Chain A
Amino acid sequence: MDLNQLVVILATAIATATPLVFAGIGETITERAGVINLSADGTILMAAMTGFAAALATNNVLVGFIAAAIVGAAFASIVAFGAITLKQSQVAIGFVLALLGADLSSFLGNPIVLVPGPTVPAWNIPLLQDIPVLGRLFFQSDPLVYASYVLIIVVWIFFYRTRPGLLLRSVGEQPAAAFARGSNVVRLRYLYTLLGGALMGIAGAAFSLDFKAGWSNRSTAGYGWIALAIVIFGGWNPLRVAIGAYFFGILQSLASVAQSNIQNVPTQVFSVAPFVLMILVLVLTSGEWLDNLLARLPVGVRRPILRALRQPAPAALGKIFEQD
């Protein structure tokens, strides 16, 4: 494999991963606040369809992204209302929305299937784009891809270096304590569920207005579940979640290369990989056997290994909080 081929594979991987970065970071924000938005698959499909339709009608890509973000937030608001206000099962409501969004997007999106429409224009960054290899990989993309890099960094800083970020995490870990210190847990959970949903909506538009350029029924089906898997794989840490998304991108990109070389194995088999990895990661990090194994090591060694391997879910994830 020569350098040129490697650059092509990595460039494809980045393009594949970009929508997943938005979706994964969105879900990470929501789950860090203690709410599971299981509707990702349906949300992304609905947002992809509406975003494309809006951009097509106005011939303006930005309008498409705004419409997609609104749809994403709207879906998330149903989850938030059902889960936080009505105290029903988040899993049940999210799951129904995942199926409903998929069917609704096919039903309403029927007239715009395979219609050509606007896409996000490329934007090569002057000077930087001429750096060998790196320029090709990182500075010859489009604004959406650059925005995804910024998003990863901003969310990481927000989580771990700001007060509101600390509050967000405490609402997901110890809602009772956060409430006692004067935070409005319900309002914060609503806020971050809607914000996460809007990012998921942007992920949908990233498919239909950029990566896949257009709408066809169920064109992004499965990516929502992959995003949910990547959040677990990334241990609810935005940086690791992004790495998970790029890792998935590389797998997909390699799969399309491999397909021309290994003809017996269809590409669909490779799309199973993230789920097998997710299960393996969960087995590795959730079971008690890890504690038993590491108990044999001296404390100084054990701590860093445990911290590297085990990224526990937010303690109050999916639990109902009685604020009143």
Chain B
Amino acid sequence: MKDNSTTPSPALALRPARGLTYQAGALLLSFLFLTVIILLAGESPFRVVSNLWDGAFGTPDQVARVFSTLAPLVLCSSGMIYTFTAGLYNLGVEGQIVAGAIATTLVLREFQGLLPAPAVVAAGIIAGMLGGVVWGLLAGVLNIFGKISEIFAGLGLNFVAQGLAIYLIFGPWKRPGIASMSGTEPFDESLWLGHIGQTDAAPVALVIALIVLVLTIIVMRNTHFGLRLKAVGQNPRASFILGVPATRLLLSSFIICGGFAGLAGGLQVVGLFHRLIPSISSNLGFLALLVVMLISFNALWIAPIAFFFSALNVGSLQLPMVLRMESSLSGVIQGTLVLMALLARGFSERAHKRAGGQ
């Protein structure tokens, strides 16, 4: 069920001007559609925009929250660059975040008090990464050796990871007294990642995300590995004939993506929630999929788009209080932009093909 498009995106690169016109059209259509939707909900679009801005950047606390959303989003988006480049739709990223969070929680629970706090936190973060790797590898093995579409292997494993987290929260790891959807007992404050002041922003998480992002950009642009991954993604058959070890490359992309997503999950535990909660991934994995689709898998664009999407997420949180509006507007905006961009890409490719002589 891979994308069997006969004209891969390079056609676009040759004619940036045409692509740009269509993308501008997509943006315009998105604005129109969103305006109609907001008017339908009985609000003025200008008030909504100014509220979103206030919600994201009004106070230092809110700005910090934007950055605390940005870190896991950048991590997952970076991971997704590898799987998308290899031609894989890794919809299992949500489960990989959850698996990472579970692994981190396990290590923190087992080692707290036994080792010095910083060592426990470090071990927890590494465990998170490994947890994500295991979950990513599982999807990869199912895909490559079990011949199961990575889409359904990943989706299925998402629900399994979610079920496992809920089982742990209500079962073996339940809070003394009552088990509830609010999660496990919070960890001791010594096991929290340092925050900037009283805000949500954990510098360590941001630094890790930045390192992973820069690494990803370098790997994709300047390494043999990145080049071969692209070859496998664009033409698996040809690269097989040319001797590119496709199986190994595909598995590596699953492992790398899983690792970064697991890292994000681990950081959600030590850096933000300080416990395991059922919605630990906060849907950031799926949001990262949208980010990467919007930027056509070009890692250079991750930072600005992920920042914009994080600001939307945080900015929309106060919509219910101020405007009595659902905060899911952020998802509507993000989804609309990506959908229009995908359609615009299709129009642009079609026009290019028609103009470029059959």
A residues adjacent to B (C-beta < 8 A) = 36, 38, 78, 81-82, 85-89, 91-93, 95-97, 99-100, 102-104, 106-108, 110, 217, 222, 225, 228-229, 232, 264-266, 268-269, 271-272, 275-276, 278-279, 282-283, 286-288, 317-320, 322
Tell me if B162 and A272 are in contact (CB < 8 A): yes
B347 at the A interface (CB under 8 A): yes
Tell me if A93 and B342 are in contact (CB < 8 A): yes
B23-50 near A? 1/0 per residue, CB < 8 Å: 0000000000000010011000000000
Tell me if B156 and A86 are in contact (CB < 8 A): no
- A82-B2 Cα distance, complex, nearest whole Å: 16
Tell me if B342 and A282 are in contact (CB < 8 A): no
Q: Please tell me which one of the listed residues A107, A229, A288, A320 contacts residue B5 in the complex, with CB atoms under 8 A apart.
A: A320
Tell me if B167 and A265 are in contact (CB < 8 A): yes
Closest to A101 in B: B335
- A71-B187 Cα distance, complex, nearest whole Å: 46
**With A95-B91, A103-B332, A110-B41 in contact, is A268–B342 under 8 Å at CB?**
no
Tell me if B332 and A282 are in contact (CB < 8 A): no
Shortest CB-to-CB span from A30 to chain B, Å, is 14
Q: Please tell me which one of the listed residues A86, A93, A228, A279 contacts residue B349 in the complex, with CB atoms under 8 A apart.
A: A86
Tell me if A317 and B1 are in contact (CB < 8 A): yes
Which chain B residues lie closer than 8 Å to A38 at the CB level? Answer: 151
Closest to A266 in B: B170
Tell me if A265 and B170 are in contact (CB < 8 A): yes
Chain A at the B interface: mostly helix, strand, loop or mixed?
helix
Shortest CB-to-CB span from B343 to chain A, Å, is 6
> Which B residues between 334 and 356 are near A, CB-CB below 8 angstroms?
334-336, 338-339, 342-343, 345-347, 349-350
B3 at the A interface (CB under 8 A): yes
- A232-B146 Cα distance, complex, nearest whole Å: 15
Which chain A residues lie closer than 8 Å to B350 at the CB level? Answer: 86-87
Tell me if B147 and A269 are in contact (CB < 8 A): no
Which chain A residues lie closer than 8 Å to B147 at the CB level? Answer: 286-288
Closest to B346 in A: A86
Which chain A residues lie closer than 8 Å to B334 at the CB level? Answer: 99
**With A106-B328, A322-B6 in contact, is A96–B347 under 8 Å at CB?**
no
Which chain A residues lie closer than 8 Å to B4 at the CB level? Answer: 318-320
**With A99-B335, A107-B41, A229-B152 in contact, is A271–B326 under 8 Å at CB?**
no
- A99-B338 Cα distance, complex, nearest whole Å: 11
Which chain A residues lie closer than 8 Å to B330 at the CB level? Answer: 103
Tell me if B289 and A318 are in contact (CB < 8 A): no
Tell me if A225 and B342 are in contact (CB < 8 A): no
12 contacts between A and B (CB under 8 A): A36-B1, A86-B346, A93-B339, A107-B37, A107-B326, A217-B326, A266-B166, A268-B166, A282-B153, A283-B148, A287-B145, A318-B2
B123 at the A interface (CB under 8 A): no
B316-335 near A? 1/0 per residue, CB < 8 Å: 00000000011011111011
Best-surrounded residue of A91, A287, A319 (most CB of chain B within 10 A): A91
Closest to A282 in B: B148
B276 at the A interface (CB under 8 A): no
Which chain B residues lie closer than 8 Å to A97 at the CB level? Answer: 335, 339
Tell me if B146 and A286 are in contact (CB < 8 A): yes
Tell me if A278 and B293 are in contact (CB < 8 A): no
Which chain A residues lie closer than 8 Å to B342 at the CB level? Answer: 82, 88-89, 92-93, 96
